[in-house]
Amino acid sequence: MAAVLAWCCGHARGESPPLEDLFEWRARAPGEPGEPPRRWLTPRRLAERGAAVYGWVDTGIGGNSWGSPYNGTVVMDDRSGQAYLDQLYLTGLRPLDGEPGWGGRVDLLYGTDWWTAVSRGLDAFPFATVDFIGVPRWSSSRYYGLAMPQAYVEFGTDEASVLVGHFYTFLGYEVLPAVGNFFYTRTYLFEYGTPTTHTGVLGSWSPAEGASVTAGICNGWDNFSDAMPTPLNPGYPGAGSNLAFTGETRLQSDDGRAQLAFALITGNEFAPQFDAAGDYLGVTVGNLTMYTVYAVLQLTDRLAWVVENAVAWQFHDATGYQNAGQLPGLAQWYGVSNYAYLGLTDRLAAGMRLEWFRDNNGSRVFYPQRNAVTAQLPVAGGFAGNFWALTWGLNWRPRANWTIRPEIRFDWYTPDAYGSPALPFGRLVTGADGLPTGTAFGQLYGGCDAVVQF
């Protein structure tokens, strides 16, 4: 079981995992059995050249205690009582090794999770085409579509390399690929607080065993090729550029039992602005800086613990919810997450997750988020306050290629001002102010999915 939990914490030899593992497996479950999953799609000749073709199918169902068609602030499994094909995922990969050379990766995602992985100018419409950020374009219906979350090439070795292209973010602990998380649902931080992808150039270096540094430039948050629109504040420094810096530093102990990761992104981003009636006014531009840091500790042969912290602030967001002493137009969000993983057998593990997420200015969380991203109605927002979520779950691996993940989750919301017309749970209704709102402060959610790798 010690080897199982060390696999959750990274490479037990104290080596820094390659970028491919960080992008895909960062929050992987500790219940992985000794034998690796079989890669049915990888021909022997391809494997002999160090390349692979593989994927997975993730399907699940969940529901809420209020009988609402939407599962409140749960984003990935947002429709209550409906079975979903969450992810049909396919990857082609040639990783780097110890000899100088080249590698690369291409990922394709089809399913109901596709809209969380899109980038403007590629699989989402440019802002100039649709006046909203990240409206998907490769959809087969309202709930299903195709995304290409990664497409990049690498040059160098597994110790020092340069990556060029489209790739997942370093920020945060949880990841989009279903195989890389313990729980079926994701945190508020993942769903509302961090980017999913970047497009740019990264340089990576591992100066010693257990240490790695990666840094580069990109087009900002979830942006492939979209130019910065003309803002309402054109005099802001660098208002016409979306160039951003992103990087990560990772340390791991020699025995692989402890890991620390710090990631950062900073650059100009734009924010759509609306009047009190919800009519679109234009966009403002301001610096958006965010950091995430998490630590993974293997406490015993059976028990692992993870703690994560994140803070973000965006200037000139012009939000209408401001706190005392806060700079005008500043939007902030931050939070803390705790995870505990307990290995019960070689094929069964239990997990618990407790999260606090603060949407300081009511600028991040929307209900339902799918409507907000796909530019459809109704959408409730303006939840300035604190979100809490407590999740219990199991991971059962009956076979090396199978994972079954049941979970129960309780969410609740504490607004800064009680009597606020906006609530994020329950059925959507029209509030006293004439805007959409939920009807409840909290919600009990239950769900289960199955992940089959191939």
Quick check: 222 and 197 in contact, CB under 8 A? yes
**Strands 331-343, 348-359: pairing kind:** antiparallel
- Pairwise pLDDT comparison (410 vs 420), residue with the higher score: 410
Is beta strand 436-437 parallel, antiparallel or unpaired with respect to 197-208? unpaired
- d(CA 265, CA 167) in angstroms, rounded, equals 14
Fill in the DSSP letter of residue 15.
Answer: P
pLDDT above 70 (res 10): no
Is 445 within 8 Å of 408 (Cβ atoms)?
A: yes
Q: pTM to 2 decimals?
A: 0.92
Residue range 124-139: average pLDDT?
A: 85
pLDDT band at residue 1 under the 50/70/90 scheme:
very low
Report which secondary-structure segment, H or E, holds 63. strand 52-64
Domain ranges of the chain: 2-453
Q: Are 161 and 137 in contact (CB under 8 A)?
A: no
Token pair of 432 as six digits = 């006293």
Task: Give the pLDDT confidence of 333-344 residue by residue, as tens digits.
Answer: 999 999 999 999
Q: How confident is the model at residue 18 (pLDDT cuts 50, 70, 90)?
A: confident
Summarize the confidence of residues 427-434 as an average pLDDT.
85
Alpha-carbon distance values, 142 to 111, 146, 425 (Å)? 11, 12, 22
> What number does CATH give the domain 2-453?
2.40.160.10
pLDDT band of 419, cuts 50, 70, 90: low
Length of the chain, in residues: 454
